[in-house]
A and B are shown apart, each in its own frame.
Chain A
Amino acid sequence: DIQMTQSPSSLSASVGDRVTITCRASQSISNYLNWYQQKPGKAPKLLIYAASSLQSGVPSRFSGSGSGTDFTLTISSLQPEDFATYYCQQSYNTLLFTFGPGTKVDIK
């Protein structure tokens, strides 16, 4: 099974900061990597698919990069509504998904 790790597990940042979250796969997954945002009490929301493609309606301050085993999610200028938990998810094995453990972004 493909295992996913994320770092850091949590971070504190201020509005306007540039934030980077890292996701690593236990084996190469090409670009079969998605990112989700989850706010407390809400369902997750798809932000980025195929490592770097922005889901429709998602602000352009979100971007993704990477391929193989190492991926990053970047928020170029953190906004108040971006305080949430972020999860990566691999889809390398068709419809056998794995989520990362999540990264919580909170207010400094």
Chain B
Amino acid sequence: QVQLVQSGSELKKPGASVKVSCKASGYTFTNYALNWVRQAPGQGLEWMGWINTNTGNPTYAQGFTGRFVFSLDTSVSTAYLQISSLKPEDTAVYYCARVVRAGSGYALDYWGQGTLVTVSS
């Protein structure tokens, strides 16, 4: 069965970096793009962008350029989200989600369990 398993919660100080992992299983990793979605405490879902798991080419949404980096290790079917120069407003749950062709468009059909990143001094 398809699973996306993310790394555990992180507590970081402002200015530090964090790397969140998302390990895929149950399907061919390079056949589906992976997206990242942020959810601040008590807030809605915010699409961060996606990474092409064939080429490693990332696409970032507005507001997620510069400090946010998507990467892959296809040898272990794992995607990564790295955030540098952390700010308190980066405190959120970060989800990875698989993209699937859905009708004539696309949808996010499998999601990781989420990783809570807390930024506090």
Chain A's interface size range is 20 to 34
Question: Is the beta-carbon distance between B107 and A95 smaller than 8 angstroms?
Answer: no
Q: Residue-by-residue, is B44-72 near A (CB-CB < 8 Å gives 1, otherwise 0)?
A: 11110010000000010110000000000
A31 to B107, CA, bound (A): 12
Complex CA gap A34/B99 in Å reads 12
Contacts of A49 in B (CB 8 A): 102-103, 105, 107
Verify if A66 is at the interface (C-beta below 8 Å from B).
no
Contact status of A34 and B62, CB under 8 A, knowing A95-B33, A95-B99: no
- What is the CA–CA distance of A95 and B50 in the complex, to the nearest angstrom? 7
Task: Evaluate contact between B106 and A87: CB separation under 8 angstroms.
Answer: no
Q: How far is the CB of B57 from chain A (nearest CB, A)?
A: 11
Name the residue of chain B whose CB is nearest to the CB of A103.
Answer: B44
Query: A residues within 8 A CB of B118?
Result: none
User: Which residues in chain A, 5-52, are within 8 Å of chain B measured between CB atoms?
Assistant: 30-34, 36, 38, 43-46, 49-51
Which interface class (under 10, 10 to 19, 20 to 34, 35 or more) fits B? 20 to 34
Q: Tell me the dominant secondary structure on chain A's binding face.
A: loop
Contacts of A30 in B (CB 8 A): 104
Q: Is the CB of B50 within 8 A of A32?
A: no
Contact bitstring B73-110, A, C-beta under 8 A = 1, else 0:
00000000000000000000001010100111111110
Report chain A residues within 8 Å CB of B106. Answer: 91, 94-95, 97
- The answer for the CA separation of A45 and B95 in the assembled complex, in Å, is 12
| Complex contacts, B103 vs chain A, CB 8 Å | 31-32, 49-51, 53
Residue of B with least CB distance to A99: B45
Q: Which B residues contact A (CB, under 8 angstroms)?
A: 33, 35, 37, 44-47, 50, 59, 61-62, 95, 97, 99, 102-109, 111-114
Known A44-B111, A94-B106; further 10 A-B contacts with Cβ < 8 A: A32-B104, A34-B105, A43-B111, A44-B37, A44-B45, A44-B97, A95-B35, A95-B99, A99-B45, A99-B46
